[in-house]
Amino acid sequence: MFDKIFGEYLLKKGKLTKEELDNIYADMMHEFVKLGMIAVREGFMTAEQADEVNALQASTDCRFGDLAVEKGYITPAELNSILRIQGNYFYHFLQATINTGKYTLEQLDEELQEYQKEEGLSNSEMDSLISGDVTRVVDVYLPNQDQMYGRLCSIAVKTFLRLIDSNVYIRRAFKCSHLEVDRFACQRTYGMNNTASGFAGDGDALLDMASTFAKEEFEQVDLDALDSVAEFTNCVNGLFTTETYSMGVELEMLPPELYDKRVDINAAEFYVVPMISKGKTIYFIIAMDSALLVNEAEGGV
């Protein structure tokens, strides 16, 4: 997920063009991530040591990791850590970007440091983003909340990745008491925790989501399309209530609500998690123990 977040950052900063970024995304999963690059970035080896092992590898029939251990540059445990990291999507992104010749690893690390500074992130938060673990990413972008918010959001993102778009990514959540959107499908649960959650969007933002889940091509975000979004929301909440039940928290799901005109969403407070899917922004909305009121917006169409 962080490969998409950081790629978007480089694009907005003008450090990569749209064509360059698209090519990197197209190439990244076909690129072999070099162990030396990982070892240097993770601080296990210096760049000079990695270059030395690469030169030795070119003249022998030995693997990089075995040579690095033999030279005493890394331990077997460190080699195992490097091998685990090799499958991380973000490192595939780094390798593909380096292979374009536009950036060195050092330059990319400088860009990462600038991103971290601009976002006000700690080192541990950056580690969470780079890890690719959805729960850890959600904890960074939806911080300081009751764990139920994070659990529900993590389930929603994981389910979206699995069933709708494997390249979706999220932005930092924001808290508000009022939001106007063109279309909205939501569902409420009642019990020890009263929740309201759902997916909203402007224009045709929900169209691909609806079509993909229903396995049917919708031409517009009408009630039929919203019904598909609502079914997906029901799926997310079903997983959420199953998880909460195992924790001793029983919740009852109510029928979904569909709004095919522009609506005004209000509550004492609720959280909005922007999800970026195929260039469209979808809002995942969560309200807990705060009455969520949905009314037709003035002049709504």
Is the model's pLDDT at 114 over the cut of 90? yes
Helix ranges (H only) for the chain are: 2-12, 18-28, 35-41, 47-59, 64-70, 76-85, 89-99, 105-119, 123-131, 134-141, 147-163, 207-214, 223-246
Is the model's pLDDT at 6 over the cut of 90? yes
Distance (Å, rounded) from C-alpha 33 to C-alpha 16? 21
Is the model's pLDDT at 299 over the cut of 70? no
Task: Write down the pLDDT at residue 300.
Answer: 59
Distance (Å, rounded) from C-alpha 71 to C-alpha 109? 26
pLDDT band at 144 (very low <50, low <70, confident <90, very high): low
Element (DSSP H or E) covering residue 176: strand 174-181
Distance (Å, rounded) from C-alpha 279 to C-alpha 301? 23
Tell me the percentage of the chain whose pLDDT exceeds 70: 98
pLDDT band at 140 (very low <50, low <70, confident <90, very high): very high
The whole-model pTM stands at 0.86
Q: What sign has the CA pseudo-torsion 283, 289, 290, 291?
A: positive
Distance (Å, rounded) from C-alpha 283 to C-alpha 106? 35
Distance (Å, rounded) from C-alpha 287 to C-alpha 258? 17
Q: Which fold has domain 135-296?
A: Chemotaxis protein chec (3.40.1550)
Task: Write down the pLDDT at residue 180.
Answer: 96
Distance (Å, rounded) from C-alpha 195 to C-alpha 197? 7
Averaged pLDDT, 116-140:
94
Amino acid (1-letter code) at residue 2: F
Q: Which of 183, 270, 292, 275 is nearest to 227 (CA)?
A: 183
Could you tell me if 68 and 45 are in contact, meaning their C-beta atoms sit under 8 angstroms apart?
A: yes
pLDDT band at 211 (very low <50, low <70, confident <90, very high): very high
**Which region among 55-64, 148-157, 211-220 has the lowest average model confidence (pLDDT)?**
55-64
What three-state secondary structure class fits 132? coil
Q: Which residues of 231-254 are buried (b: 16+ CB within 10 A; e: fewer)?
A: ebbeebbebbbebbeeeeeebebe
Domain boundaries, the chain: 2-133, 135-296
Averaged pLDDT, 73-90:
91
pLDDT in tens, 16-65: 999 999 999 998 878 788 999 999 999 999 999 999 998 988 888 889 99
Cα distances (angstroms) measured from residue 151 to each of 56, 122, 154, 239, 248: 48, 22, 5, 10, 15
Task: Write down the pLDDT at residue 244.
Answer: 84
- The tokens describing 85, both together, are 């990291």
Q: What is the mean pLDDT of the chain?
A: 92
Distance (Å, rounded) from C-alpha 78 to C-alpha 244? 38
pLDDT in tens, 221-271: 999 999 999 999 999 999 999 988 888 878 899 999 999 999 999 999 999
Task: Write down the pLDDT at residue 172.
Answer: 93
CB atoms within 10 A of CB 226: 24
Task: Write down the pLDDT at residue 143.
Answer: 73
Distance (Å, rounded) from C-alpha 251 to C-alpha 237? 10
Distance (Å, rounded) from C-alpha 144 to C-alpha 171? 16
